Structure 1
Amino acid sequence: MDELPIGRRVAYWRGRRKMSQQVFADRLGKSKSWVDKVERGVRRLDKFSVVYEIADVLQIDVQLLLGKDVERRPETQNCIDQVEVEEIRAALERYDQMSAFFHPVPVAPPLTEMRKAVSHAWLTYQHAKYGVLARKLPQLLRDAQAADSAHASGEEARDAAHLLGQVYQIASSALRKVGEHELSWLAADRSIAVSQRAGDQLLAGMASHRVGMALLSLGRIRSALEVNVNIANRIAPMTSEAATPERLSVYGLLLLTGAMAAARIGDSATVRDLVCGAEQAAGALGGDYNYYWTSFGPTNVELHRAAAAVELGDGGKAIETHNRIDPESFAAMLPERRAHHFLDIARGYTQLGDVEKASEMLLEGDRLAPAEIRCRPLAHEVISDVLRRTRGTPPAPIAELAEQMGVGV
């Protein structure tokens, strides 16, 4: 990448962001012809202000456009930067080390150590420490792949496959947060195959959930809906004996993800049916738990009910749902879930035109889990919307947050 002309770099990152030339041009306030000429090298980019604007639209560090090493700034140390994304990509691309057929099996850490490392990675993700996670993920992927290759059969082989399947899911979730949807889909898809070798239907169900989330982010909404609903139907507990807490949790989360896909296409009837099904599963579960890292339970159902209302454009219903959530149960949720909810409710308030309350929600989310607000492209869109709708000078706290996020006031 370093040796490419800047126009080619612009084209590369535009492609990575799944933007057409027209969409990219619209966001820059330029013509499609201007973008085409820049990317072909016919028009020079000789103004730094324009280069910085392009980097902002592409959500990358300007140094990457200039072909220089990225300087990691302290204020973004808990986000996943493009250098770390490329390191994760490189770990996912090591096909030669995924099988002993192609490469001597590297020395793998003991499975007891791997279990601790994977558990810590899940907690790091669920506490929205994305920068910390990103710096550990490449090595964790390599270690998990090595452990999977080192154990050919028996119980240890299933354990190693189970751990690798989890690491792929962690990578998928983290990559989706920062807009790397294709990589997120790849990691989730890998997890499905590995989960089959692990012999764990519920792990495969969670892998399907990650695939559905990646497809949803890629705009493949009907595919996301079908994946989640079809797999939910296959693992639905048909008897009281089958209704284990783990199965109820995975089943319920698949229904909730399906509801989010249905909301994206405006199918309110399907949203209602799927959320009701998840509500029944949560009732049978009897509380909020974190089986299979789902954070599933009655409170998470309400969080998804509010999020689905936002996707349907009904900010009022989202706010009503938010206001009736039990504060004590909400406070017990993990930071990523709560901050994500505050972001959803901020979107709901912007739909109602209440930028003051939307700002409050963004600031609440930032206090709770800064990376969930500062690192996500969606949050950048929301705070940009808040700034556009604010009359006069925005309040100091929201202006400061916007500056730290790199969003122009």
Structure 2
Amino acid sequence: MGSDATSNPLDHPLVFGQRMQVLRTRRGMSRTVLAGLLDKSPSWVKQVENGALHTPGLPMILRIAEVLRVRNLAELTGDQSMPVDLFIGPGHAKLPAVRSAIDTFPTVAADREAPSAAHLRTRLESAWSARHSAPKHRDVIGGLLPSLIRDAQLAVRQADRAPERRAAQAVLSEVYSLSQFFIAYQPDTALLWRVAERGLVAAQESEDPHAIGVAAWLTAQAHRDSGPTHFDAADAVTLETLRYLEPLLPEAPDEVRAIAGALQFEAGYTAARRGDTGTAWSYWETARKMAKRLPADYYHPVTSFSRAIMGAHAVTIAVELHAGRESVRQVAKADAEAIPSRPRLARHRIEEARGYQLDGQPETALATLVKAYEAAPETIRYNGYARRIVLEETEAKSPERRRRAADLAVRIGVLAA
């Protein structure tokens, strides 16, 4: 490494408070904002950072790690004997094959003819259906993606007329969208962004409103999950796409209305992450009105947007606003059984568990995470919020809660058997 290389402060033996300050600063988060998200005072944050207070206990460490989106607890604690990944799950066995398909571009003069866009779309729809119905959904789509990616890339390269090329680009964009669901929360952030960017480019080339909306929806999520300094970028993508879709909506098919509704909710989700209660609920209400314009049994295969999902979305808004009582109230109103997708139901159960914990009901939170595991084990295994709650409960005062939490921690791969 040259002498002008940038040093990483976390490579040095810093104490907990110093590490917390470095990570907070990297996230562009003030002490006041961090304190509010932890239900502490700014002076408490300052005292922890300057060493005036001792390192907090494990439950608070886990909450700090969640708020700061720490990938691995060792980054925060400095203790390499605690290499617990939170917001990055385990690398799936099929990740190398998917990565290879993404990174290997076929030439136009391949030794085979590409499938038609219509054929590829049928396969894509089957893949989405399989994802929604499978408990181990990453295993299923990880097996389908490599050939689907290669065939969609080849279809674009062999298309020799503009209409065919646009149709192939639309399918390729949505194949990349499916790939993002597989890659998310796995240990290859660069691959995730590569796929997101390629999906956006292919969608723009397709000139297809639905493909553009889906690619924007996923890109906004990638920005938001990168932390507060990326919230403005998430909003820019979301709101610009909504402005593009708005004049099309009166005559648009259901799938385009659904992606517009999903984007409206995303704007509310980002506002909730900011702590902007009024804006968050206003966008949720706008999205709810859009959902009511869809058939009662409609369910968007990518975003899950539908009438059935709006109750789950309300729980998410309340949880992101750290409103425990309101979260539980929204849990009671939501109809979880109306969600037909196993991974999306599991995600909703995790949001329910977050709400119960915010409301001081840890036993119910833990029981709800068990339900999430029963719906889709691979969803909870890769979810940082669930992993944090389970780890926190392994330190509970109740022996029975500790036992149940440890059992779930082993099943989701947070603790060794």
TM-score (norm 1): 0.76
Matches within 5 A, 1:9-408: 27-28=73-74, 50=81, 53-54=82-83, 56-57=84-85, 81-94=91-104, 96-97=105-106, 100=108, 104-111=109-116, 112-127=118-133, 129-178=137-186, 180-219=188-227, 220-237=230-247, 241-291=250-300, 293-326=302-335, 330-394=337-401, 397-408=404-415
Identity over aligned residues, as a percent? 24
User: Do the aligned residues in 2 keep the contact of 1:114 with 1:144 (CA within 8 Å)?
Assistant: yes
Equivalent-residue separation in structure 1 for 2:259 and 2:351 (angstroms):
22
User: Do the aligned residues in 2 keep the contact of 1:212 with 1:224 (CA within 8 Å)?
Assistant: yes
Structure 2: stretches of 5+ with no match in the other structure? 1-9, 12-18, 24-69
Deviation per residue, 1:220-257 (Å, 9 max, x gap): 22211221122113212577x42532222111000111
Instruction: Tell which deviates more after alignment, 269-278 or 136-145.
Output: 136-145
Equivalent-residue separation in structure 2 for 1:284 and 1:26 (angstroms):
43
Q: Indicate the SS of the match to 2:296.
A: coil
Equivalent-residue separation in structure 2 for 1:202 and 1:26 (angstroms):
36
Change (3 A) 1:29 1:130: closer
User: Do the aligned residues in 2 keep the contact of 1:256 with 1:301 (CA within 8 Å)?
Assistant: no
User: Do the aligned residues in 2 keep the contact of 1:355 with 1:390 (CA within 8 Å)?
Assistant: no
Change (3 A) 1:57 1:210: closer
Instruction: Give the corresponding residue for 1:64.
Output: none
Instruction: Tell which deviates more after alignment, 269-278 or 294-303.
Output: 294-303
Structure 1: stretches of 5+ with no match in the other structure? 1-9, 12-18, 36-49, 61-78
Equivalent-residue separation in structure 2 for 1:159 and 1:226 (angstroms):
27
Q: Indicate the SS of the match to 1:236.
A: helix
Equivalent-residue separation in structure 2 for 1:131 and 1:260 (angstroms):
28
Q: CA deviation at 1:283?
A: 1.6
Q: CA deviation at 1:401?
A: 1.8
Q: Which has the higher contact order (CA 8 A, sep 6+)?
A: 2
Q: CA deviation at 1:169?
A: 0.4
Equivalent-residue separation in structure 1 for 2:263 and 2:397 (angstroms):
38
Moved over 6 A (4+): 19-22
Change (3 A) 1:390 1:163: farther
Instruction: Tell which deviates more after alignment, 307-316 or 138-147.
Output: 138-147
Q: Indicate the SS of the match to 1:285.
A: coil
Equivalent-residue separation in structure 2 for 1:165 and 1:390 (angstroms):
49
User: Do the aligned residues in 1 keep the contact of 2:101 with 2:150 (CA within 8 Å)?
Assistant: yes
Instruction: Give the corresponding residue for 1:44.
Output: none
Instruction: Give the corresponding residue for 1:43.
Output: none
Deviation per residue, 1:123-178 (Å, 9 max, x gap): 23333511221233223212221122121324433332222111100011222244
Equivalent-residue separation in structure 2 for 1:263 and 1:58 (angstroms):
21
Q: Kindly provide the amino acid, as one letter, of the partner of residue 121 in structure 1.
A: A
Equivalent-residue separation in structure 1 for 2:182 and 2:247 (angstroms):
30
Equivalent-residue separation in structure 2 for 1:25 and 1:343 (angstroms):
19
Equivalent-residue separation in structure 2 for 1:31 and 1:395 (angstroms):
22
Q: Indicate the SS of the match to 1:276.
A: helix
Change (3 A) 1:202 1:357: same
Equivalent-residue separation in structure 2 for 1:275 and 1:30 (angstroms):
34
TM-score (norm 2): 0.74
